[in-house]
Amino acid sequence: MNSFLPPILLEPFIIRALIAAAILAVTGGILGSFIQMRGMSFYTDTISHSAFTGVALGVLFGLDVSYTAIVFAIAIGILVLEIRKRTSLSFDTVLGVLFASIAALGLFILTFLNNVRVDLFGLLFGDILALSNTDVIVIGVAALIVLGIIWSIRQQLILEIIHPDLATVEGIDTRRNDIIFGIVVATMIALGIKLIGIILLSGLFLIPSATSYLIAKSFRDLIAGAVISGFISALAGVVISTQLDTATGPTIVLAASALFVISYFMRPLIKTNV
């Protein structure tokens, strides 16, 4: 049976990449569906850049960059939501202000790291083929926790999207849900940087959900389609990159983009209700 597969696909580092990409794509597809319907698309870019600044802070103070990236991303995620709640500024304005400020802070910190070697290419575009077994386990466990949390509040999140006024009348704590959702998204984004990189990471969260949105007939279809699209994109991207010797992260996102184009041309043939 193995003879039908290129030998390189059986290498341990490729198998780890396939597993990690599939986990992130499936989780990203589910989160991306909620992100899109909640109008938080730019949120992913802001959080990914904040994770970069978290990495820079970790290097500056000699701390574990994995932890500083996650903690800083979560902190900024909560800050975004708090500013949105406490001011009359639009969500996009808040994100724009923090996006620029955090990116500037990260670049400012880099000026103090002249004698420290920082893998900027890996941060910007990811290095999924360099994952260890521990990395894959951490991503898998985090994904299970995140999906468990989303499952436990899924009905409240959906009601907030469809009927926000009714959700308030029903006594749903929307502020708590916003913070919980922001934290889980920030966590997966911070963990995903090593796989896809800062620049392209939002694509793995948003493109599959956008692809599904074009042809979905219900919110359930939207999530299912996003998961399938993300899963196919992840596996295809890893396989194609190994065959063409291209960067894996960009190849995964390009595969997702190709599915989006196909979905766009299929839309006239399908009546959607989302």
94-134: pLDDT as tens digits: 999 999 999 899 889 888 877 766 666 777 777 888 888 99
What is the pTM (predicted TM-score) of this model?
0.85
Distance, CA of 125 to chain centre: 13
Phi, psi of 178 (to 5 degrees): -60, -45
User: pLDDT band at 224, cuts 50/70/90?
Assistant: very high
pLDDT at 1: 47
Two tokens at 184? 């889980």
Q: 2-269 has which CATH code?
A: 1.10.3470.10
Buried b or exposed e, range 209-247, using 16+ CB within 10 angstroms: bbbbbbbbeebebbbbbbbbbbbbbbbbbbbebbeeeeb
Show Cβ contacts of residue 259 under 8 Å, excluding neighbours closer than 6 positions.
Answer: 207, 208, 211, 229, 232, 233
Q: Provide the 8-state DSSP code for 111.
A: T
pLDDT digits (tens, 9 = 90+) for 1-32: 455 666 677 788 889 999 999 999 899 999 99
- Top pLDDT among 9 and 234 is at 234
The Cα–Cα gap between 212 and 12 comes to 32
CB neighbour class for 192 (10 Å; exposed up to 12, middle 13-18, buried from 19)? buried
Using DSSP, state whether 166 is helix, strand or coil: helix
How many Å is the Cα radius of gyration of the chain?
19
Cβ of 152: how many Cβ atoms within 10 Å?
A: 10
